[in-house]
């Protein structure tokens, strides 16, 4: 039997720089508390719409259970490709189906980043970004966006070096709920084009824009690589269905790597995705706009809180101490949140998700306002 020393020796060095997600720790804690007020979960609180479930069941029943072609079934690719072409009119833009949005991100970074390459990431960031850059052998370069989580394109320009391979932007953003303005995304896209840097755009919260129309930097730069998916808009987080689109040369390499990693997105889910693509989610977005308003109005008088414009998160500043200390206090009051340092180099804020029913939101607001005054 191998010794503990052997076990340690077998672990790749890169894993020293990849920590277990603080979000998972809170999820584990949620299972141990009686009836917690849970504002930690970053997934929709509605079930998959019935029409989409029926399509999945029908795919199973007719035997569509085998591997598909690596790039995804033609029916789904054709629907998405038609919409993407109508939106951007890029002759070289190609779509393929990924195993979740995170699957697309993983493929893209592994296909583009060489050891030592730099990838610009905006802080706060989705928890996965720096770890995926590390996995690819690159270095994440963080650009601070506090206090209002706005991108300063001049700061991006100053951070560019000969080693900069890519810039990774997320709008609407997790964890802040920020939707970056059209002019900022335009200027960021122009800078990337001017300097020959790949701009990657994570658009998985695309439909959840409450105060302004969604804008993609791909409108301004034909080489932007976009990641999107079905998980948030249709409540399909566990189904692992995403897609990516960008310059054909990049997409070809991502498809090649998918062949030897994920193989393909889940076959049954792809067939359900054909139906999901035509499902109208406007009523869901309207409900989430109402949830956003409820949370913001309930907390703005006692918290330093940038009004979320999209996604389903708010990122308030802790009223005292560090974000981690405040989250610990909230947990002692049966309220589950995520400390901000899971998403940031700072430990000053916390993330809450308002993807919850109104009773849970009201209980959360009451606890947060009560402990803010303690």
Instruction: Give percent of the chain above pLDDT 70.
Output: 96
Q: What is the mean pLDDT of residues 161-175?
A: 98
Q: Are residues 124 and 159 in the same domain?
A: yes
Last residue of a domain, one of 239, 255, 276: 276
Q: Are residues 61 and 29 in the same domain?
A: no
Q: Which residues contact 5 (CB under 8 A, 6 or more apart)?
A: none
Q: Are residues 168 and 306 in the same domain?
A: no
Last residue of a domain, one of 259, 276, 293: 276
Tens of pLDDT along 152-167? Answer: 999 999 999 999 999 9
Tens of pLDDT along 106-153? Answer: 999 999 999 999 999 999 999 999 999 999 999 999 999 999 999 999
Q: Are residues 367 and 261 in the same domain?
A: no
Characterize 215-245 residue by residue with b for buried, 16 or more Cβ atoms within 10 angstroms of its Cβ, and e for exposed: bbbbebbbbbbbbbbbbbbbbbbebbbbbbb
Look up the pTM and report it: 0.94
Q: What is the mean pLDDT of residues 60-89?
A: 97
Q: Are residues 287 and 143 in the same domain?
A: no
- E strands, 6-131, where? 37-38, 93-98, 118-123
Tens of pLDDT along 230-243? Answer: 999 999 999 999 99
Q: Which residues contact 177 (CB under 8 A, 6 or more apart)?
A: 292, 306, 308, 309, 310, 311, 312, 313, 314, 315
Predicted confidence at residue 279, as pLDDT, reads 97
Predicted confidence at residue 22, as pLDDT, reads 60
Res. 50 pLDDT band, cuts 50 70 90: very high
Q: Are residues 79 and 126 in the same domain?
A: yes
Give the chain's domain count: 2
Determine the structural domain holding residue 127 and report its residue range: 50-276
Neighbouring CB atoms inside 10 A of 104's CB total 30
* Residue 3 confidence (pLDDT) above 90: no
Kindly report the CATH number assigned to the domain that includes residue 29.
Answer: 3.90.1150.10
């Amino acid at each position: 039997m191998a010794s503990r020393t052997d076990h340690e020796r077998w672990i790749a060095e890169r894993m020293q720089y990849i920590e277990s997600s603080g979000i998972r720790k809170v999820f584990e804690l949620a299972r141990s508390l009686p009836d917690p007020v849970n504002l930690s979960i970053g997934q929709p609180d509605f079930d998959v719409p019935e029409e989409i479930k029926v399509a999945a069941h029908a795919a199973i029943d007719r035997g569509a259970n085998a591997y598909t072609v690596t790039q995804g079934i033609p029916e789904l690719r054709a629907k998405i490709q038609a919409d993407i072409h109508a939106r951007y009119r890029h002759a070289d833009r190609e779509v393929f189906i990924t195993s979740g949005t995170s699957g697309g991100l993983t493929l893209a970074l592994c296909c583009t980043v060489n050891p030592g390459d730099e990838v610009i990431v905006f802080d706060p960031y989705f928890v996965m970004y720096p770890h995926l850059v590390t996995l690819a052998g690159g270095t994440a370069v963080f650009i601070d966006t506090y206090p209002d989580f706005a991108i300063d394109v001049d700061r991006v320009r100053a951070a560019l070096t000969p080693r900069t391979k890519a810039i990774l932007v997320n709008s609407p953003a997790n964890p802040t709920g920020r939707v970056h303005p059209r002019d900022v995304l335009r200027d960021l896209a122009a800078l990337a084009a001017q300097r020959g840097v790949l701009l990657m755009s994570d658009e998985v919260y695309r439909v959840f824009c409450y105060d302004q129309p969604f804008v993609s930097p791909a409108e301004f730069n034909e080489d932007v690589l976009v990641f999107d998916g079905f998980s948030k808009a249709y409540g399909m987080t566990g189904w692992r269905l995403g897609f990516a689109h960008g310059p054909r040369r990049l997409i070809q390499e991502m498809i090649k790597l998918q062949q030897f990693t994920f193989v393909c997105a889940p076959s049954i889910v792809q067939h359900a995705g054909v139906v999901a693509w035509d499902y109208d989610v406007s009523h869901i977005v309207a409900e989430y706009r109402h949830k956003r308003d409820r949370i913001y109005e309930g907390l703005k008088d006692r918290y330093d809180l940038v009004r979320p414009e999209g996604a389903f998160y708010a990122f308030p500043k802790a009223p005292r101490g560090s974000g981690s200390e405040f989250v610990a206090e909230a947990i002692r009051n049966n309220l589950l949140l995520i400390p901000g340092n899971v998403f940031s180099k700072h430990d000053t804020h916390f993330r809450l998700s308002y993807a919850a029913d109104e009773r849970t939101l009201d209980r959360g607001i009451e606890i947060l306002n009560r402990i803010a005054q303690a």
